[in-house]
Amino acid sequence: MTLLASQRPAIPRWKWLLGAAVVAIPLLLGIGLTKDPSFIPSMIVGRTMPDFSLEPLSGEAKVASEKLLGKPLVINFWASWCVSCREEHPLLVQLGDRADLFDEFEIVGINYRDSPVAAAQFLDRQGHFPYPSGQDKRGRLGIDFGVYGMPETFFVDAQGVVQARQVGPLTPQAIEQNLKLIGALR
Amino acid sequence: MRRIAAAAFIVLAMAWPSAAAPFQTEQPQETLVREIGARLRCPVCQSENILDSQSGTAREMIVMLREQLAQGRTEAEIVEYFRSRYGDYVLLSPPVSGFGGIIWIVPPILLVMAGAAYLLLVRRSADKAGRVAHDAQPHEPLNEQSLRRLEL
């Protein structure tokens, strides 16, 4: 038996290579298939957030980045036409109350590519945010932030550097984790 | 004389349209807008450039493109503007430098490697065939002695 095994001719190296390729190529393609083709890696994380000064959805005072500096900041892009924004809505209202109560961070909304009327109807139905929202009617600020879907939330530290970005609805875990990241939890 | 005048008039009338300035239906910079727009990927679509896309974001990017061209920015500056926001993703063909370079460099390298491997295999099998042929050739013609030896 051992004699027979030793007699078997060695498999040539190119057959090994071919075999490896036959396994590796479908494997790599398979991994590629599980990825989300619409996902865009963020360019803004690790950078200073872009400045903005937007008309408010209601009230008089502009929603401006310079007023929000010096404290950790949560920026939430939302729209009345965005279905999954409804999902995260109660969490945002809670988060706004928390910002008011504990004064650990600021939070601001950006109403993205929306009409003020539709946005107001949305808020009447879903509940109003305890914080202001600025209007980004043409989506320019969204382009500055590299936004490609709604909702998106950015977590900015007290120095104005974007530390995290949440694409899609917020979750309690994501909120806690990212607030810690921007030093909003003591 | 009248006839000549009439003929001249007809000739002039026929020549007139071609003598007029060529039709101009768009600003000259629109060509550049289309060129750059075709290179940039719409971030909210899948594999569609911002020129073809009907999405609001793509429309707005085209507007920004026009504005920046009007401000005298160069193509490279404008592409970089969008790249700094959306990354290499926004370029429809990946950049030749950096990580994107791998995509450009690997296929030619693979092609050369495959060619080399093929040549090597062909040469090796040709060598083997040559050796067999060489071995098969008798060094000396068969004679009685060698036949004996074969028969044992």
Interface ipTM > 0.90:
no
Average pLDDT of chain B?
82
The alpha-carbon gap from A142 to the nearest alpha carbon of chain B, in Å, equals 9
- CATH entry, B26-90, from 3.50.50.60, 3.90.550.10, 3.30.70.2740, 1.10.8.640: 1.10.8.640
Are the Cβ atoms of B121 and A14 closer than 8 angstroms?
A: yes
**Domain identity same for A110 and A76:** yes
Are the Cβ atoms of A143 and B64 closer than 8 angstroms?
A: yes
Q: Is the pLDDT of residue A165 over 70?
A: yes
Q: What is the pLDDT of residue A169?
A: 94
Closest residue on chain A to B48 (Cα): A38
Which of B56, B64, B86 shows the shortest C-beta gap to A146?
B86
Work out the average pLDDT over A141-156.
92
CATH, residue A159:
3.40.30.10
Which of B61, B87, B117 shows the shortest C-beta gap to A143?
B61
Closest residue on chain B to A149 (Cα): B44
Q: What is the pLDDT of residue A91?
A: 95
List pLDDT tens digits, range A74-133: 999 999 999 999 999 999 999 999 999 988 999 999 999 999 999 999 999 999 999 999
Structural domain containing residue A22 = 2-34
Closest residue on chain B to A144 (Cα): B85
Are the Cβ atoms of A143 and B89 closer than 8 angstroms?
A: no
List pLDDT tens digits, range B93-134: 877 777 777 888 889 999 999 999 999 999 888 887 777 666
Confidence of residue A148 (pLDDT cuts 50, 70, 90): confident
Confidence of residue B19 (pLDDT cuts 50, 70, 90): low
What DSSP assignment string belongs to chain A? -HHHHHHSPPPPHHHHHHHHHHHHHHHHHHHHHHS-TT----SSTTSBPPP-EE-BSSSSS-EEGGGGTTS-EEEEEE-TT-SHHHHHHHHHHHHHHHHHHH-S-EEEEEEES--HHHHHHHHHHH---SS-EEEETT-HHHHHHT--SSSEEEEE-TTSBEEEEEESS--HHHHHHHHHHTT---
List chain B residues with CB under 8 Å of A13: none
